[in-house]
A = this chain, B = another copy of it.
Amino acid sequence: MKRIVGIAILGFGTVGQGVYKIIKEKHDSIMYYTNAEIDIKKILVRNFNKEYKVEIDRNLLTNNFEEILNDDAIDIIVEVTSSIDQAKDMMVMAMNKGKDIVSANKAAISKYFNELNDLARDNNLHFLHEAAVAGGIPVLKPLGDLVMENDITRVRGILNGTCNFILSKMTEEGEDYENVLKKAQELGYAEADPSSDVDGLDTLRKLRILSTMAFRQDVDENDILLEGISNIKACDIKNLAKLNRTIKLIGDAWVEDEKIKAIVQPVAVYSNSYFASVREAYNSVTVYGDMVGELKFYGAGAGMLPTANAVTNDIIDILFDRQSKVRLGEGLNRQIAKDEIKGDFYVRYNSEIISLDSFKRKKLTNESYLIKNCQYEKLKRALKKDSNSIIIRLESEDY
């Protein structure tokens, strides 16, 4: 006999509408495989009069969360709002009512990762969020499998489509940051306020989720060093292209000397390397395990349908009652040592404002230098007075 599973969608932006579209369009196929029908019962919105990209039954719209919370026919909550604390409150209330959760909200998940996971486990509920990291790429699920048989020693990725789009265009068309950002905003690749993307916060949140799962212990937002891309200029792209390198914003967390180090920063990768080939708004995640070796995952990191595909797959996992295994490790409490992060760096700064004479540098142009084997935090502190300066890690040969 066919089972009917009621869901409610909280927030009806791009992702929410994509979920609606997939559930409607792929109705027969989903039913064929799962023997269940996903019934969209309610959609939580703020404004009833908005135009949507998909045709919907407007009777489903509500602005009253209580109505959803108290509807026993709603089994699964699909949380795809852009809020943080409010989203967390709604997820907590829903779990306390026995509802499973699927979310694509990386900001809320990153901030409340442990609390939400613990609550789900204590109540024997699903809390799935594949879409929160790398959009349509199935990476959290395989990662959740890999940790059981592997000591994961590194997770690394191009995790933000907006930044990758901007850097790709700057590289390929030689344009300056401001112009490309404007274009990206016109095309819908960047928000009106792009700060959480270009300052690297979005990448940091995804790295927080990835590394916490990979290393089986809490890697907090504050444990990750952060540098964005908004200070990168056309001249930096050109200077590094001469060294056969391409700039990418990379989130990277690894185990070194049994300590965990994590950083989000622009990295000058070799132009013939794999990460250089990840262009436009695409994302990629690489994972290193002691048994499986290196795995790479590539796909659309954002976009209506790819992201909604990941959300819908989480819903299907709940239909199959596939157990989630996001659980921090016991006895794996490695020290987190972000302050010890070292490397080779490209730096550009105004030498009239600051001096880096104490650093062993090699001059590249009038404004830019290469610095070898230097502590990142020390360099960052030295450049503090020049708000336009930039530090870009040089990927080493054996990276």
A residues near B (Cβ < 8 Å) are 22, 26, 29-30, 32-34, 136-138, 141-142, 145-150, 272, 274, 277, 289, 291-300, 303, 305-306, 308-310, 312-313, 316-317, 320, 322-323, 325, 327, 329-330
Contact = CB atoms under 8 A, between A and B. Distances in A.
A295 B298 contact: yes
Contacts of A313: 145-146, 148-149
A298 B277 CA distance: 14
Nearest to A18: B291
Given A148-B29, A148-B33, A299 B306 contact: no
7 contacts: A138-B142, A141-B141, A145-B317, A149-B313, A272-B277, A291-B306, A293-B299
A30 B330 contact: no
Given A33-B325, A277-B274, A292 B320 contact: no
A397 to B, nearest CB: 16
Contacts of A320: 322-323
A274 B141 CA distance: 24
B277 A306 contact: no
Number of copies: 2
Given A145-B313, A322-B320, A306 B327 contact: no
Given A141-B142, A145-B316, A277-B274, A292 B300 contact: yes
A292 B277 contact: no
A298 B297 CA distance: 7
Contacts of A22: 149, 291
Contacts of A298: 294-298
A298 B137 CA distance: 13
Contacts of A34: 148
Nearest to A142: B138
B29 A312 contact: no
Contacts of A316: 145, 148-149
Contacts of A308: 291
B295 A299 contact: yes
A317 B322 CA distance: 9
Contacts of A309: 146, 149-150, 289, 291-292
A320 B323 CA distance: 7
Nearest to A322: B322
Contacts of A297: 295-298
